[in-house]
Amino acid sequence: MRIAVFRRFTDLDTLGHINNVVYFDYLQEARIGLLRDIGLVKAEDFAQVVVKQEIVHRKPLYLSAEPLIVETWIEGLRNSSYTVRYRIIDEHGDVAAEASTVCAVVDPVTTKPIRIHDELRAVLEPLTIGQ
């Protein structure tokens, strides 16, 4: 899936480029957009939490009115977790960063990991690459 993310003036650091911490905001917007598009931001019988995030910066980003495109897909669908992979693409079509987020599925009351429900697995599997 491709999500458009707009940069804000407040995303800049003192060097005039997008601050490295802000990239995680862009990833979150893309991840929530992905889950929203498949209808699973929230469910009564399970919750999803981030357990690990990694990012590799390929080139700096600067302020622009043009949106960034964040490509997202699922990689590594396991029993109680899955990995969201990202590619952040700038207004020139260049890859500015590549990243991943490991999400665990947990019981909303105990917050302990649980098996991925069939409902969630059914919508994540079509988005999965590299199984």
Mean per-residue pLDDT of the chain:
92
pTM comes to: 0.90
- Domain residue ranges in the chain: 2-127
Q: Is the pLDDT of residue 16 over 60?
A: yes
Domain 2-127 has CATH 3.10.129.10: yes
Over range 118-130, report the average pLDDT: 84
Angle, vertex CA 26, rays to CA 47 and CA 64, nearest 5: 160
Over range 33-59, report the average pLDDT: 86
For the segment 64-109, what is each residue's pLDDT rounded down to a tens digit?
A: 999 999 999 999 899 999 999 999 999 999 999 999 999 999 999 9
> What does the H/E/C string look like for 16-69?
CCECCCHHHHHHHHHHHHHHHHCCCCCCCCCEEEEEEEEEEECCCCCCCCCCEE
41 pLDDT band, cuts 50/70/90, is low
3-state secondary structure of 36: helix
Over range 36-55, report the average pLDDT: 83
- What does the block give as tokens for 37? 């598009």
131 pLDDT band, cuts 50/70/90, is very low
In Å, what is the CA distance from 125 to each residue of 68, 82, 107, 113? 26, 10, 21, 19
For the chain, how big is the Rg over CA atoms in Å? 16
